[in-house]
Structure 1
Amino acid sequence: MNKLLLGAALAASMLAAAPAANAAINVVLPPAAADGSITAEFGQSGIAFGAFNHTFNFTFPSAGTASTGVTSIKVSGKPSTNIDFTSVTLNGKAFAITNGVFDLATLDDWAVPAGVQTLVVQGTSGGNGSYTVDLAFAPVPEPATWAMMIIGFGAAGSMVRARRKLVPTVA
């Protein structure tokens, strides 16, 4: 029984002392523009040699579409600055990845729900790597906005039709 308690205490202390390197990073996005769109830039630098796994959480105020690019540039003659992406996902949706001198992972016009979003960036670093995340969000118009637009088109069509009836035809 004492060995079990000692083992549990040791495991708990190891978890408590574990580095927070893989802890989620909460990103506070800037306020939305007048049209509801949001653009933001964030990332990581000084990434140690070897594999990395970074998780970013941020919140969208409404449902919409997001386009995201994750980029890294290898400095010529400096292999320590090299980053190779192995996986990049937004809410589980995989990005298209291209690795080389310019590393790029992209996801364009993907539907996202309102609320907390999770971006996971995984890869390897040469020892002093960095990358930047560029994010663009556009909200989906509210149903009331769509209804007003449809009513407006209907009213314009009715006016054109009524005007045709008033114009006399020459025979």
Structure 2
Amino acid sequence: MKKFLLASATAVSALSMATPSQAAVLAMAGDDDCFGLSMSCADGSLWRDDLGGTFFTSNATAGDPMFTDEWDAFNNPTYSLAFAGGTGLSLEFRIAGIADVGSGYDILVNGISIGMLPQNNNANGFQEVLTYTFAIADGSLLADNTVTIASSGGDGFSVDYVSLLGNVGAVPEPTTWAMMIFGFGLVGGAMRRRKTKVTVSYA
């Protein structure tokens, strides 16, 4: 019986040991294809000089949402992101060409600011590829959300994608799976070894 209890405790302990999963993409507007150029985009690369992009040109393909993979002088592009639950939420943008705006760009989620895209004062800021991340308070999102990059002016820019990231649960590590299997094996072994003592008496 002691062995059975010990094995049961081991199994329960293993089941309780799980580590949070890494942030997963919960929703995305755009398709992370380097602004429609079908290549990889490292932060700091230059959209025109390094990647071959052309100003005031759309590289969007069928199915791309409006204001992605398009270089234009629009001021307030808005994107829609569905949300089905998660924790540790953040919003990630990959943008080329945020520059020449003294006040920066305000990032709004359902009309509420969550931060600013800073002015890019680098010499090639008008074409530099950069990724920005902003935290979002858990419980603040709706089933359907609008994300707006708001500015009163500025030069053109292009958005590769807008992505909602978050944790959707706990995932056991490989060592935890091993402990679980070992624990269940002990339980099974202990149960097989248990013997029932039968007492026969004669009247």
Greater relative contact order structure (CA < 8 Å, 6+ sep): 2
Structure in which a larger fraction of residues adopt strand: 1
Q: Scaled by the length of structure 2, what TM-score is found?
A: 0.39
- Radius of gyration: which is bigger? 2
Q: Scaled by the length of structure 1, what TM-score is found?
A: 0.45
